[in-house]
Amino acid sequence: MDDKLYKQLSDEAYNLHVSGNLVKAKEIYDKIIDYNPKDYNLQFLYAQLNISLKNYEYAVDLLTNIYMNTNSQEVKLSLAKVYYYDNKFEIAIDILKTLPSDNLEVCNLLLSSYNKANMPYDAVNLYLTMAKSHKLTDVDLFNLSVCYLKLNDIENALKYALKAYKTLKDDFELNIHIAGLYQRINNEDEELKYLLKSESIKAEEELLYRTGCIYKNKNDIDNAVKYFNKTLEINPKHKRAVLNNAFTLCKIDKESAIRYLEKAIDIFPDDTEILMNMYFIYNSMFNYEKTYEIAKKLIELEPSSYENYNLCGFALKSLYKLDEAEKMYLKSRKIQPEGNYSASMGLAEMYSQRGLTEKAAKLIEPFLLNDDIDSMYDYLSNYLRDKNFNKVKDYFFKIHTKINSQRETENKLRSMFHRLNIGERYNIDENSFAHLKKEEYINSNEIRKKYIKKQWHNENIKDKTLLLYSMHGIGDIFMVIRYIDDIKKLAKKIILLVDKPCYDIIKYNFPDIEVYDESTKLSEDSYDYATPLFCIFYHINTDFHDIKKSGGYLKVSSEVIKEKAKIDIMKTDKIKAGLFWQGNPSILYNRSLEVSKFKQLAELKNIQLYSFQVTDTGVDSDKIMKELNIIDLKPYIKNFTDTGGFLKNIDVLITIDSAIANFAGALGVKTFLLLPYFPEWRWFYDTEKTPWYDSVRIFKQKKPNDWDEVISRVKNEFKV
């Protein structure tokens, strides 16, 4: 080959190369590359072509040879680029560090290499160095923010991201990035703002899903459902959107949530997570037949999961199929003998309710070693039910000093999500909402946080002011207030903080004590120590075998009693019997009954029934009350003072286990207390009388869920 042909072929190869016909160009290069080994320009072009064809090793050999003969900085930069393209970032970095630092192309490639090699600290330093001589571009600012985020320096990450945002407002990736930064600092309002901006640019499913999650956290149900549905329009199989939508709907319409999950099962047949969430919704609806059915299905799908046997055991226990429930819990413990909390506590509760106190205690005690709050409650209930106060007195106070940090942690966990991956879309894999369901503790936790700094640990308070505050039910206030004189003897001054509905009646009964309702904001200077009312048991070392003041320790003013007596509906020669049948179902669901169960009593000619229900019990209840001629006292009752006035004007109160039962007992009003087969601990194992109140008689179920037999016994008390 002569020089003329070499030149002709070189030009032809070059033209093919620059026009993009790389394969043809390579064929010519291959023919002429060895003709003139010192034609480094041709070799450089050939190296570039091999880079384009991703023949990186051959390109490295060519460029290395050229650099050794020319010492060209351009060739050295190209060599660094080859290693960069071949994902050998550390080698690229080593080469780039030897090149002039004032070369912007070198700096940019070095920055990119640092980012690819996950070396954010080096990248940040280089960006800041570059900023001294060059104005950083908006893209540089964005990338610098990303580096700071990798270093977990959220403050600087946000600073540079917002600088970039001034001119990159419509950049989708930047909006997503800023939203993620605000997520890291738990600023949901700002996070939502940038997510919505991102949506206006490009609506992607994970973006829509995350927006729905924020609205769910804000309890904005309409918008949460809207965005979960938007997610599902893009991807009907987005399971997390399905589950979160169901649990958002559950807050307003549990039936709709169930129907939603049933449709999801058609998309995800035999999906254990969906079944699990259906279980929890049915459980919140107290539909234990359905929970049992689902638990059996879960066992069928995952027979080695001890948790599924626990779910089944709970459903059976709730259906009072105790022998079957015990078998399920024991099966669970066989699969998982150690640390099986649910099985241990399920068995302990059943044993405790059956009177097998020591057997229950042995199951609970291992969990007490870890200061587990819920096991402390179970331990308390177990021995309190047995009236063994010496076993549990220390746990009264221990619970209230330990519970704050644990519940506070749980509440923080509720707001945590998996974080945004840098340079990618949201990659959220939330745990099921059903497993983060500790909402009932939020309010009591806020109360604890107010007073935890000054908790009374039984220090001498002879010359001190003690604040007693309520954080349990109103019935608990009426029950323990009998001990207020014992506490008064220990302190110079008592301040009492109670729930608003019972403020008036407590204030009336204790004029020598400063009584405030729960909304009152007390300064820390106004008291020296604080303790929950229920901890009075702990502080005075009471004995449940010898309960003080068993009735009549609360009074209602004679004026209020006379005022209620003058109301026309109270004027009758018949026996006046008050009724209370429905409490909060989330607390002892099995204690309530339907108003229709009182039909037996309504048939008696010598009795007039009055309803003391002050909350809505449903349209059907109102209809049945009219049919049974039950007079509704709700329009006349604003607080417990009014309730007390009416209680003092009737002959007997017939009530489930609720605040009014304790109130009537404290007033000394004749009361028939209707208890479920397994009642709360405070009624011990008593079946006829209670040491708490002389005026209260117990009518307890002899069979689970059998209220008809209970009402029949009550009816016999009125027969002439």
Supply the pLDDT for residue 444: 44
Confidence of residue 440 (pLDDT cuts 50, 70, 90): very low
Question: Region 331-357: what's the mean pLDDT?
Answer: 94
Confidence of residue 189 (pLDDT cuts 50, 70, 90): very high
Confidence of residue 349 (pLDDT cuts 50, 70, 90): very high
Q: Which of the pair, 26 or 372, is modelled with greater confidence?
A: 26
Supply the pLDDT for residue 260: 86
Q: Give all domains of the chain, ordered by start, each with its CATH number.
A: 3-150 (1.25.40.10), 440-540 (3.40.50), 558-716 (3.40.50.2000)
Question: Region 159-167: what's the mean pLDDT?
Answer: 93
User: What pLDDT digit, counting tens, does each position of 194-232 carry?
Assistant: 999 999 999 898 899 999 989 988 889 999 999 999 999
Q: Is the pLDDT of residue 432 over 50?
A: no
User: What pLDDT digit, counting tens, does each position of 49-66 carry?
Assistant: 899 999 999 999 989 999
Confidence of residue 416 (pLDDT cuts 50, 70, 90): very low
Supply the pLDDT for residue 451: 76
Q: Is the pLDDT of residue 420 over 80?
A: no
User: What pLDDT digit, counting tens, does each position of 512-540 carry?
Assistant: 999 998 888 888 889 999 998 888 888 88
Please count the other Cβ atoms lying within 10 Å of the Cβ belonging to residue 250: 23
Ranges 143-157, 438-452, 541-555: which has the least confidence = 438-452
Question: Region 392-419: what's the mean pLDDT?
Answer: 53
User: What pLDDT digit, counting tens, does each position of 271-304 carry?
Assistant: 999 999 999 999 988 899 999 999 999 999 999 9
Q: Is the pLDDT of residue 498 over 80?
A: yes
pLDDT over 90, % of the chain: 55
**Residue 472 near residue 531, CB atoms below 8 Å:** no
User: To which residue do tokens 């960006």 refer?
Assistant: 127
Supply the pLDDT for residue 417: 33
Q: Using alpha carbons, list the distances in angstroms from residue 409 to 215, 405, 439.
A: 22, 6, 12
User: To which residue do tokens 């950049």 refer?
Assistant: 171
The 3-class SS string of 434-481 reads HHCCCHHHHHHHHHHHHHHHHECCCCCCCCCEEEEECCCCHHHHHHHH
User: To which residue do tokens 């901006």 refer?
Assistant: 197
Q: Which of the pair, 86 or 452, is modelled with greater confidence?
A: 86
Question: Region 445-459: what's the mean pLDDT?
Answer: 72
Supply the pLDDT for residue 524: 86
User: To which residue do tokens 């400063």 refer?
Assistant: 514
Q: CB under 8 Å to 366, separation ≥6 — which residues?
A: 344
Q: Is the pLDDT of residue 324 over 50?
A: yes
Burial of 157 (0-12, 13-18, 19+ CB in 10 A): buried
Question: Region 436-456: what's the mean pLDDT?
Answer: 55
Confidence of residue 429 (pLDDT cuts 50, 70, 90): very low
Ranges 9-13, 158-162, 193-197: which has the least confidence = 9-13
User: What pLDDT digit, counting tens, does each position of 578-587 carry?
Assistant: 999 998 766 6
Tokens coding 58: 């051959």
Confidence of residue 136 (pLDDT cuts 50, 70, 90): confident
Supply the pLDDT for residue 583: 84
Q: CB under 8 Å to 599, separation ≥6 — which residues?
A: 628
The Cα 15–Cα 24 span in angstroms is 10
User: What pLDDT digit, counting tens, does each position of 646-692 carry?
Assistant: 999 999 999 999 999 999 999 999 999 999 999 988 999 989 999 99
* C-alpha 113: how far from chain center: 42
**Residue 352 near residue 385, CB atoms below 8 Å:** yes
Q: Is the pLDDT of residue 350 over 90?
A: yes
673, β-bridge pairs? 655, 698
Supply the pLDDT for residue 473: 84
User: To which residue do tokens 């209670």 refer?
Assistant: 690
Supply the pLDDT for residue 442: 37
pLDDT over 70, % of the chain: 92
Question: Region 338-359: what's the mean pLDDT?
Answer: 93
The Cα 434–Cα 281 span in angstroms is 8
Query: DSSP string spanning 653-686?
Result: EEEESSHHHHHHHHHT--EEEEE-SS--GGGTT-
Question: Region 438-459: what's the mean pLDDT?
Answer: 61
User: What pLDDT digit, counting tens, does each position of 608-635 carry?
Assistant: 999 999 987 777 888 999 999 999 999 9
Confidence of residue 411 (pLDDT cuts 50, 70, 90): very low
Ranges 12-21, 463-472, 581-590: which has the least confidence = 581-590
Alpha-helix runs per DSSP H in 134-171: 138-150, 154-165
User: To which residue do tokens 């109103």 refer?
Assistant: 474
**Residue 342 near residue 307, CB atoms below 8 Å:** yes
The DSSP secondary-structure symbol of 203 reads: -
The Cα 282–Cα 262 span in angstroms is 12
Q: Is the pLDDT of residue 413 over 80?
A: no
Supply the pLDDT for residue 397: 67
Supply the pLDDT for residue 720: 57
Question: Region 327-336: what's the mean pLDDT?
Answer: 96
Q: Three-class SS of residue 163?
A: helix
Supply the pLDDT for residue 620: 84
**Residue 61 near residue 87, CB atoms below 8 Å:** no
**Residue 66 near residue 79, CB atoms below 8 Å:** no
The predicted model scores a pTM of 0.69
Supply the pLDDT for residue 422: 28
User: What pLDDT digit, counting tens, does each position of 115-126 carry?
Assistant: 888 898 988 988
Question: Region 403-408: what's the mean pLDDT?
Answer: 51
**Residue 649 near residue 576, CB atoms below 8 Å:** yes
Q: What average pLDDT is seen over the chain? A: 87
Q: Is the pLDDT of residue 427 over 60?
A: no
Supply the pLDDT for residue 447: 53
